[in-house]
Amino acid sequence: MVLIKGRLMMKLSSNMILFLLTVVLVLLAFVHKELLRDKFVIPAPTGAYRVGYQERVLMDSARVASTSSSGYRNLIVSLYYPTTECEGESVSYLSPESPVVHNLAQVLGLPEKSLKHIAEGKTHSYLNAPVADVDELPVVLFSHSINGMRGQNTYLVEELASHGYLVASIEHDGYSIGSVFPDGVVGDFLKHDVLQDVSAGGEIIDLWSEDQLFVYEQLQQLNNKGKLFSRQINLGKAGLVGHAFGGAASFNTVTVSDVFESAVNLDGFYFGENYTKGTYKPLLEIRAEPRPAEEMKPRQLEQVGMSRQEYQTMMFDEWNRRINYYAKGVIYRYALHGAKHLSFTDLVLAVPFKRLLLGDCKYYHNETRVLVKAFFDHTLKGASFGLIGSSSLAEPIHAVSA
């Protein structure tokens, strides 16, 4: 009897070991599959053109800046434009000396090693490629988020360039994740959360609007005197798009200047006081659908540094109040179900196990590209907007689900 029990226990133990080994192998296979998915790959643009690329450092001698070696405000701007002639390899996503990976790890609270593959990424843009033979180039200016960078939405700006737009992506020095200037000066990044200091955000947003207007003026000079563009830039057809703070700055700018025809905000809270002025220019807002305040767990509220009531006020009540002020004319509003704040950027592609943690990045990127392109095709090229359809402030926000 004892012998039978012993054999039974040995069989059970063998079965348990086999089961555990199977579980481990399945987990290893799953982790391997996810790691393969975690390669930093920018989605290819879908337009008829290839994408050319140039970088410019622009100095605004009308604005003093203590952080600059020149004593004036300097901005690094990346230009993306349509081309048909490409030679060599495409531009790397980051330069080898870039401090972005180190700083990004600090901002995201992740190990630096887990983000090293972002430095190995390649874009679909080609340095100094000649501009395509087109009659005119509508213009789009892009602004990144606080502690973002000019290349953080490469998936979007390359898409627009491949469809015939000139895109100028601005790096707002002092508020990016690390500008590296030709003279060796490295810009700093912001150490505090503007959501916790709305008044400071109001001061910064006016500076960013000044940056956008300055770059617009520089494009005028580039169009008149530059060798790259043969007066092809149509500054009468210019729009703005930005992520987070950059999106809020884009809306802010169209209230203080008439040079831009339209503006897009990707998930940015509306800082400053200019929202009270409003604008009749067409606006597009795409945001990550916020979790209802009553569903927020204490840990999640702690992470955003708000009480439940503060979260409700900022993410719903005050957000909607300000956008209602902003939009005196047509506004299109969309929310992406399941999206997170980083879902609108390339940076989500650098997060380990991104699909598990942040959902279907490919879907969010594709949906954003489709909506933004359709909006600018309508407001800058005069195309029909039937793809999206119009909405009014009286109607509920239109939600898009993956």
At 27 the pLDDT is: 46
* Backbone φ and ψ of 236, nearest 5°: -80, -10
Specify the amino acid at residue 147: N
Side by side, the strands of the sheet bearing 137-143 are 125-127, 50-64, 72-83, 166-171, 137-143, 233-243, 262-266, 283-288, 331-336, 398-400
Residue numbers of the chain with a pLDDT score lower than 70 = 1-38, 66-69, 96-97, 184-198, 226, 352-359, 386-402
Alpha helices in 110-197 (DSSP H): 154-162
Q: What length is written for the chain?
A: 402
The answer to whether 141 and 215 have CB atoms below 8 angstroms apart is yes
Compute the distance between CA of residue 235 and CA of residue 252 in angstroms, rounded to an integer. Answer: 19
* Backbone φ and ψ of 35, nearest 5°: -65, -35
At 190 the pLDDT is: 62
The token pair at 148 is 């973002």
Compute the distance between CA of residue 93 and CA of residue 100 in angstroms, rounded to an integer. Answer: 11
Specify the amino acid at residue 202: G
At 345 the pLDDT is: 94
At 121 the pLDDT is: 87
